Amino acid sequence: MGIFRSIACLCVIALTGATTHGQILLDLDVAPGYQGLQERQVKPGETFGIELVANGGAKGKTGFSIKLRFDKTQVRFKGVKVGGLMAGAMSMPAKKLPTGVEVNAAIMGLVGASADNGSLGQLLFEATPNLTHTAIEIATASFGSRAGIVTIEAGPGVKISNPDAPAMTSSQPQPPAAAQNPKPQSSGSQGFQNPPGPPMGTQPPT
C-alpha cells in the first residue's frame, strides 16, 4: 500500500512541476523548444528574437492570441514569425496597446497544432537608444480552437539589458528623516505661571 502511495505522490509532484511555468512561455534562446534563457544583453539598435513556446494544451488548437507588456521607450516590437506548431498560420497586424501590443495568429483550416508542446514562432524586437534594463512579459494569452477561445496561463517574462548601461542597484537611497522638535519639558504645575518677582502684597524696596 505504501508503494502505491509513493508512486501517486511522485506523479502529483511531476504534474505540478510541469505546469509551474505556464502553458505559453518566452525564451530568449531561439533554438526550437524551450531552453529557459530568461536574460540577455543587447545593445541599442540591435534586433533580437524571442521564441514563443507552447508548454501543454496546444494540440488541435488553430491559433493563439497574446498581449505583450513592455516599455516602449526601451524596446520596439517589429513583428512575429509564426512557425513550429503553427506553421502555415496567418499572423494579423499587431494591435498597439498603451503598455505593449496584442499579437494574433490563426490557421486557416480545420487542422490544428499536431502536438501539445513546441514552438509557436518568434517575436522580433529592436532595442531603442534608451535601452537600459527592461522586461518583456505576456500579460494575457489564449488558444483558439474550433470549440472557441481557451484562456491559458502565461509563464514568466524575460529581461533585456544594455551592457553599457549603469548597473541597477537593489535599493534606492532613502531621503533623510525630518528633524523632530524636542518635546518641551513639563513642569509640576499646569496653566498660567506668574512671572518671577516679589510675593504678592509686598512692595519692592525703593
Is residue 180 pLDDT above 70, yes or no? no
User: Distance between CA atoms of 81 and 154, rounded to whole angstroms?
Assistant: 19
Which CA distances in Å does 55 have to 2, 36, 75, 144? Answer: 32, 12, 26, 15
- For 115-148, the pLDDT digits (tens) are 999 999 999 999 999 999 999 999 999 999 988 9
Torsion of CA 109, 110, 116, 119, to 10 degrees: -10
Whether the pLDDT of residue 110 is over 80: the answer is no
User: Mean pLDDT in the chain?
Assistant: 81
Contact 135, 159 (CB under 8 A): yes
Instruction: Output the pLDDT for position 196.
Output: 47
pTM metric for this prediction: 0.72
Rounded Cα distance, 178 and 130, in Å: 35
Reply yes or no on whether the pLDDT at 160 is more than 50. yes
**Coil, strand or helix at 58:** coil
- For the stretch 6-52, pLDDT in tens is 333 334 333 333 344 799 999 999 998 899 999 999 999 999 999 99
* Residue 198 in this model has a pLDDT that exceeds 70: no
